[in-house]
Amino acid sequence: MHPVTEYIHGHIDQFVAQEEPGNALGRVTDEGARLLRDSGLIRMLQPKQYGGYEADPREFCQAVFDLASKAPSIGWVGCVVGVHPFQFGQGDPRLQEEVWGSDHDTWTASPYALIGRARRVDGGFILSGQWPFSSGTDHCKWAVIGGMAESEPGVFNVPYHFVLPRADYEILQDSWNVMGLCGTGSKDLVVKEVFVPEYRTYKVVDLNERVYASRHRPDSPLYQIPFDLFFPGGISIATIGIAAGVVNHFAEYTGSRVTRMGTKQTQNPYHMASLGAALADIDASRRHVLDEIGDMYQLVLRGGRTSPEMKRKARVNQVRAVRRAADAAAMVFKHAGGNASRVTNPIQRTWRDLSVAMGHACNVDDPVYAAYAGALYGVPVPPGVII
């Protein structure tokens, strides 16, 4: 077991104790952030040069699953913020030194939506925009932000990621009022006419094609995994972890539940059948995502390179695994009874967290299914589909 996973297991009650205060606060509590920082989860994919583990990505995903299944908001933030070192580790050495040179525990937020507009100027870009869903942002000192850069004056059509220090953007503190994952603090960011030097940018197509990894980390297999596969994979495994939390809470509740007719729920065959099927589906979903990422990592360890076909297969399996896990949670939730709707019941709280997680763009499944099937016939992947 990886040391990070050992820490999470050993401190899980402390993580869980920070969930409700974080939900009330609308962000991860300071104590929750300390636990997350001390666990090392955020540094698992960080270069060893800057105090990271450069860990097996499968181990990172397993640690995210374990944490999200018990403490959904903290697990979600650990996943999203923890994937950023995977991207930054491929970036320009000047960027890496700015972010990690004086503090190996620096965190970074990421509203990746390509909402911003960036004018080209000498040495870089002038960026403006407003972005939602910046998870964990209150504890972050940097942000990586999506936007369209100019291909020619006034024509914004080249997808880029822009990296900004905290002084260059504003957090809208009242912008995260939601029904679930409240403790992630996924607030809006605003940028107004800020200069971003070229070395603090990523051209998205080059990031996904591992151009930066080949240039800056050619000897590290970790960074040879495609970003556009691994970031959605992280979202998938965090969501499956939250679904597992719904099923696990239901299983705990079932053990002592007696119906109004005086019958133990453990004696209800339909109830027990739904639980058994749900447990199997959660495990299958977890293994599906972990095994795909693990197989790719083994391939790059042997010096291989993932193909577009492998990426498409992995993505369709990710969204299918998430859907299977969410359906498993729905199957048991309908058997939980009226008391599960009480605000004090962890089943409904985790169910709401799952409902919000399912809204993430990486979990939208039908377009991925259609694009995967279309690829069998040479149909191009439609713009905006994450596959």
Q: What is the pLDDT of residues 94-115, one digit of tens each?
A: 999 999 999 999 999 999 999 9
Q: What is the mean pLDDT of residues 254-260?
A: 68
In angstroms, rounded to a whole number, what is the distance separating the alpha carbons of residues 277 and 324? Answer: 11
Average pLDDT over residues 76-88: 98
Using 50, 70 and 90 to split pLDDT, how confident is the model at 91?
A: very high
pLDDT at 249 over 80: yes
**pLDDT beyond 70 at 257:** no
What is the per-residue pLDDT for 340? 82
Q: Residue 174 above 70 pLDDT?
A: yes
Pick the range with the lowest mean pLDDT from 22-26, 152-156, 265-269, 322-326: 265-269
User: Where does CATH 1.20.140.10 sit in the chain?
Assistant: 225-375
Give 309: exposed, middle or buried? Use CB within 10 Å, 0-12, 13-18, 19+.
Answer: exposed
The CA-to-CA distance between both ends of the chain, in Å, stands at 31
Q: CB burial class (10 A; 0-12, 13-18, 19+) of residue 167?
A: exposed
From the list 355, 354, 350, the residue with the least C-alpha distance to 340 is 350
Q: Once rounded to an integer, what is the mean pLDDT over residues 32-45?
A: 98
Would you state the structure tokens that stand for residue 182, as one six-digit string? 């409240």
**Least trusted range by pLDDT, from 219-223, 282-286, 301-305, 336-340:** 336-340
Query: Environment class of residue 200 by beta-carbon count within 10 Å: exposed (0-12), middle (13-18) or buried (19+)?
Result: buried
pLDDT at 101: 97
CATH topology of domain 225-375: Butyryl-CoA Dehydrogenase, subunit A; domain 3 (1.20.140)
Instruction: Indicate the burial class of 1 (C-beta count within 10 angstroms; 0-12, 13-18, 19 or more).
Output: exposed
Q: Which pLDDT value is given to residue 205?
A: 96
Give kind and range of the element (H or E) at residue 28.
Answer: none
What six digits make up the tokens of 384? 């905006």
Q: Residue 265's pLDDT is what?
A: 72
Of residues 267 and 237, more confidently modeled:
237
Is residue 1 pLDDT above 70, yes or no?
Answer: yes
> How far apart, in whole angstroms, are the C-alpha atoms of residue 378 and residue 346?
46
Percent above pLDDT 70 for the chain: 98
CATH tag, 3-100: 1.10.540.10
pLDDT for 259: 64
What pLDDT, on a 0 to 100 scale, did the predictor assign at position 200? 98
**Could you tell me where in the chain the CATH 2.40.110.10 domains are found?**
108-203
Give the pLDDT band of residue 264 (cuts 50, 70, 90).
Answer: confident
- One-character DSSP codes across 207-239: HHTTHHHHHH-TT-GGGGS-HHHHHHHHHHHHH
pLDDT of residue 95: 98
Helix (H, G, I), strand (E, B), or coil: what is residue 25? helix
What is the residue-averaged pLDDT of the chain? 95
Q: Return the CATH class of domain 108-203.
A: mainly beta
Query: What's the CA gap between 216 and 259, in Å, rounded?
Result: 61
> Whole-structure pTM over 0.85, yes or no?
yes
pLDDT band at residue 258 under the 50/70/90 scheme: low
pLDDT at residue number 383: 84
